[in-house]
Amino acid sequence: AQSVTQLGSHVSVSEGALVLLRCNYSSSVPPYLFWYVQYPNQGLQLLLKYTSAATLVKGINGFEAEFKKSETSFHLTKPSAHMSDAAEYFCAVSDPGGYQKVTFGTGTKLQVIP
Amino acid sequence: EADIYQTPRYLVIGTGKKITLECSQTMGHDKMYWYQQDPGMELHLIHYSYGVNSTEKGDLSSESTVSRIRTEHFPLTLESARPSHTSQYLCASSESGTGSGNTIYFGEGSWLTVV
């Protein structure tokens, strides 16, 4: 069984400030982990994914996430927020073999304040 | 870059009408999915398919139906639309095989409004 918890349905940051979106997972096998971004009226776009190689994963638009097995976490960060980062972000977990369906978190809406 | 296409993007229809939302992917992925998402809310899996002639209901009960006659095509049909069906419908696909981890690629979504 696998699950994902995203802490905070809404996060507000000032432009230029650090972005930190939290994701904790539960999985019975070593997981694959994903972050997706959704802009208004669009589908989800893959930001980055962890597939058991390097624990620090770099994605698009300056985002990165670190897999911490001891904390069962996969938090998403960006050093300096930009107005264009305002969107909904979803964390997801899967098993490497793809035998289970992907499980998505409930999403975190990021607001960037000028 | 994912190549998955949904039509129509936006649709307003009357109650009782039949509607089919089209979804096609050009990546040769075996697995395809339909998610339902209300504005600003979480995703709900309503249908999935692991290959041709294979369809399964998802975690959220839906009155819609799907078919998978060709690998690249996964249409969703509502026989009689109701206002409660108003939502965004997201089509997605992923490849099979060990190590793929089910990386899912999404279309841009179809916004359905039933009046």
* Alpha-helical runs (H) found in A1-114: none
Please check the confidence at residue B98 and state whether its pLDDT lies above 70.
no
Residue B45 has pLDDT above 90, yes or no: yes
Please list, in sequence order, all residues whose beta carbon lies within 8 angstroms of the beta carbon of residue A53, skipping any fewer than 6 positions away.
none
Residue A31's pLDDT is what? Answer: 87
pLDDT category at A28 given cuts 50, 70, 90 is confident
The reply to whether residue A102 touches residue B94, judged by beta carbons under 8 angstroms, is: yes
Assess A1–B contact: CB distance below 8 Å, yes or no.
no
In angstroms, the CA A14 to CA A17 distance is 5
Q: Map tokens 């069962």 to a residue.
A: A72
Q: What residues pair up with A87 in beta bridges, in sequence order?
A: A110
For testing contact with chain A, the best of B23, B88, B104 (most A CBs within 10 A) = B104
* Residue linked to tokens 């979106």: A21
Rg, C-alpha atoms of chain A: 13
pLDDT digits (tens, 9 = 90+) for A54-92: 899 999 999 999 999 999 999 999 999 999 999 999 999
d(CA B45, CA B62): 9
CB-CB: which of B41, B48, B100 is closest to A101? B48
Residue B47 corresponds to which amino acid? H
Cβ of B105 within 8 Å of Cβ of A46? The answer is: yes
